[in-house]
Amino acid sequence: MTNVVLNPAFDIFYNSFYLHGLIELFGASRIEYSSRSFPPLSSGCLAMLVRGARELRVVIDPYDGAVITNYNRSGLEWCDVYAKVNLARTLVPDDQRHKCLPIGPSFPIRLWGPMGSAWMAARSYRPSVDYAPRLQGINNSREHFANYSRQYRHALPLQSFVRGRTRDGYVYFLSSLWREEEAPGTNEYRARFIECCKANPAVVFEGGLVSSEPGTSRASGRFADCMAPGRVPLQEWLEKTQSSSIVFNTPAVWSCHGFKLAEFLALGKAIISTPLARELPAPLVHGEHIHYVDGSVESIRTAVDLLLSDRAYRHHLEQNAGEYYQRVLSPTRTISRMLDFAASPEAAMTA
């Protein structure tokens, strides 16, 4: 019988996806929280001990950055498997590279309702308080409880992410406008996609850019004509995205895999994307799972025209995107790959 011990000092919002996989694989009753036996880690990472036929030490690093920060080096040295969303092996010390596993993008999911979230926040907080002097405990109690609330208020259950019926010619795209960056970058590519859709007479476009800074419209300058009226409820975003004929992806902050890439794959969407910058557990192949563009206006315009006019190709991408998610990125598949990796790294990477 396998039991899992989690260090409670982790960000539930960013790690809800992985906790869901653990619950599905082992059952909630076999998961416990304790601050003993864990190294210091930044609060975003999830460290766990999987105790079965052998004890396996795993660290999940969901950070946007490709660098394993100095504060997380102790976790890298402690673990058997360092599973990282945004992995760049060239940035990992040579003697630790063998234990690093790219796990690809994920997204926050709602695990519990308001009462369940409050209960789990309290349940996971107490073991950390008991061992706070050991430095593995929760350093910011307000942030800990806020993240459990955030998991409920700003995420949807995993079962909501299913393929819907698309509307021919309808494109919905709502995305963040980040702080100023070198052009061309995330903002510019997203703006070009919006402008290509708006200029296409065959497209009924809805959405635009919304500021990543609360209370700021950012409705001036280069991106003024691309701005959306504002954010929308998550359920509305989901339903409109399910109806959209195509979607657009580009690496986000620090060239990371954004939440949207994983969400689009889970929804089985026909994805137009600029090239990805970080490693994946398995390739997303152009023309099979995704349609890559170089980011130029012409490449995006051509891709939009192609996917809207060629329904068979669009459906081919949709089918394969959904299959890729189930085979490679689903919570249970991701957790299983971590466990397999310790036993046979080569087999886990090619599965």
What whole-number distance in Å separates Cα of residue 132 and Cα of residue 159?
36
Give one DSSP letter per residue of 333-344, joined into a string.
Answer: HHHHHHHHHHH-
Q: Which domains does the chain have, with CATH numbers?
A: 3-102+111-154 (no CATH), 160-329 (3.40.50.2000)
Backbone angles phi, psi at 318, to 5 degrees: -60, -50
CB atoms within 10 A of CB 25: 17
pLDDT along the chain (351 residues), means of 10: 92 97 97 89 89 93 90 91 95 94 98 96 75 54 92 97 97 88 83 98 96 59 90 97 98 92 98 97 98 98 98 98 98 96 65 53
Name 323's Cβ contacts closer than 8 Å, sequence gap at least 6: none
Please state whether beta strands 271-273 and 291-292 pair in parallel, antiparallel, or not at all (unpaired). parallel
CA atoms within 13 A on the CB side of 183: 9
Return the pLDDT at 61. 96
Question: CA geometry: angle at 267 spanning 108 and 233, to 5°?
Answer: 55
Give one DSSP letter per residue of 264-327, joined into a string.
Answer: HHHTT--EEEPPP-S--SS---BTTTBEE--S-HHHHHHHHHHHHH-HHHHHHHHHHHHHHIII
Q: Is residue 122 helix, strand or coil? A: helix
Burial of 5: CB neighbours in 10 Å, binned 0-12, 13-18, 19+: buried
Q: Which residue has the tokens 């997203």?
A: 190
What whole-number distance in Å separates Cα of residue 67 and Cα of residue 183?
23
Return the pLDDT at 128. 60
DSSP bridge pairs for 177: 211
The answer to whether the beta carbons of residues 66 and 39 sit under 8 Å apart is no
The answer to whether the beta carbons of residues 282 and 130 sit under 8 Å apart is no
Label each residue of 147-194 as H, E or C: HHHHHHHCCECHHHCCCCCCCCCEEEEEEEECCCCCCCCHHHHHHHHH
Backbone angles phi, psi at 313, to 5 degrees: -65, -40
DSSP bridge pairs for 83: 60, 101
Burial of 56: CB neighbours in 10 Å, binned 0-12, 13-18, 19+: buried
Burial of 201: CB neighbours in 10 Å, binned 0-12, 13-18, 19+: exposed
Rounded to two decimals, the pTM is 0.93
What whole-number distance in Å separates Cα of residue 341 and Cα of residue 80?
9
Please state whether beta strands 46-51 and 55-61 pair in parallel, antiparallel, or not at all (unpaired). antiparallel
Return the pLDDT at 264. 98
What whole-number distance in Å separates Cα of residue 252 and Cα of residue 64?
8
Contacts 24+ apart (CB under 8 A), 291-295: 291/317, 295/184, 295/188, 295/189, 295/192, 295/250
